[in-house]
Structure 1
Amino acid sequence: MTSAALCDTYDCALFDLDGVVYLGPEPVEGAPDGIGALRDRGVRVGFVTNNAARPPRVVSDQLTRIGIPSEATDIVTSAQAAAAMLRDSLDPGAKVLVVGTQALADEVSAVGLTPVPDRSAQPVAVVQGYDPDMTWPRVTDAVHAIQAGAEWYASNLDPTRPTDLGLEPGVGSQIAAIGCCFPERIPEVAGKPYPPLLRETIRRLGGEHPIFVGDRLDTDIEGARRVDMASMLVFTGAHGMYDLVDADPIQRPDHIGYDLRALLHPSRVVSRSGNQVSCAGATVSVDGGVLTLNAPLITRDEQLDALWAVLALVWQIRDAGGAGPDVAAVLQEFTLLH
Structure 2
Amino acid sequence: MTLGSSDRPLSEVYDLAMLDLDGVVYVGPDAVPGAVESLDAARSAGTSLAYITNNASRTASEVAAHLREIGLSDVDDADVVTSAQAVAHLVADALPAGSAVLLVGGEGLRRPLEERGLRCVATLDEGPLAVVQGFHPDVSWVQLAEASYAIGAGIPWFASNTDLTIPTARGVAPGNGSLVQAIRNATGANPTVAGKPEAALFRETLERFGGERPLMVGDRLDTDIDGAIGVDIDTLFVLTGVNDLQDVMDAGAGHRPTYISYGLGGLNEAHSPVEVEGMTAHCESSSAQVSDGVLTFETSDQSTAGFRAVVGLAWHLADHSGLRVRLDGTMKS
Q: Quick check: TM above 0.5?
A: yes
Alignment of 1:177-192 (within 5 A): 177-183=182-188, 185-192=189-196
Deviations 1:252-300 (A, max 9, x none): 111111111111111142234577543223455668xx45768533432
Paired residue total: 328
Q: Is the 8 A contact 1:233 1:255 kept in 2?
A: yes
Contact 1:82/1:189 (<8 A) preserved: yes
CA distance in 2, matches of 1:284, 1:260: 23
Give 1:159's aligned residue: 164
**1:279–1:150 distance in 2 versus 1, CA, 3 Å:** same
Identity of aligned residues (%): 39
The aligned amino acid for 2:308 is W
Spell out, residue by residue over 1:145-171, the C-alpha distance to the aligned partner (whole angstroms, 9 max, x if none): 111111011000011111221111111
Q: Deviations over 1:176-200 (max 9, x none)?
A: 11111133x3211000001100111
Q: Distance in 1 between matches of 2:116 and 2:331?
A: 49
What letter is aligned with 2:64? S
What corresponds to 1:332 in structure 2?
329
Describe how 1:124-203 pairs up with structure 2 within 5 A: 124-183=129-188, 185-203=189-207
1:101-116 map, 5 Å:
101-116=106-121
- Whether the 8 Å CA contact 2:297–2:310 is kept in 1: the answer is no
Alpha-carbon offset, residue 18 of structure 1: 0.6
Aligned position for 1:311: 311
Q: Which blocks of at least 5 consecutive residues in structure 1 are unaligned?
A: none
The separation in 2 between residues aligned to 1:19 and 1:87, in whole angstroms, is 30
Assess if the C-alpha contact under 8 Å between 1:49 and 1:78 holds in 2: yes
Separation in 2 of the partners of 1:121 and 1:208?
45
**Which digits, 9 at most, give the CA deviation of each residue in 1:195-243, with x for residues without a partner?**
1001111101111101111111111111111111111111111111121
Query: Relative to structure 1, is the Cα distance of residues 292 and 51 closer, same or farther in structure 2, using a 3 angstrom cutoff?
Result: closer
Distance in 1 (alpha carbons) for counterparts of 2:99 and 2:218: 35
Is the contact made by 2:102 and 2:121 (CA closer than 8 Å) also made in structure 1?
yes
RMSD: 2.1
Deviation at 1:121, TM superposition (A): 1.1
Is contact 1:87-1:111 (8 Å) kept?
Answer: yes
Q: 2-side partners of 1:115 and 1:249: how far apart?
A: 42
Greater relative contact order (Cα 8 A, min sep 6): structure 1 or 2? 2
Kept in 1: contact 2:296–2:331 (CA 8 A): no
Length-normalised TM-score, structure 2: 0.92
Counterpart amino acid of 2:190?
I
Which of 86, 93, 101 is the equivalent residue of 2:91?
Answer: 86
TM-score (norm 1): 0.90
1:114 CA drift (Å): 2.1
Q: Do structure 1's residue 36 and structure 2's residue 40 form an aligned pair?
A: yes
User: Could you say which residue in structure 2 is the equivalent of 1:118?
Assistant: 123
State whether residues 151 and 187 of structure 2, in contact with CA within 8 Å, keep that contact through their aligned partners in structure 1. Answer: no
Aligned residue number for residue 218 of structure 1: 222
Identify the match of residue 299 of structure 1 among 298, 301, 322. Answer: 301
| Aligned counterparts of 2:153 and 2:294: Cα–Cα separation in 1 | 60
- For the Cα contact (< 8 Å) 1:12–1:45, is it kept in 2? yes
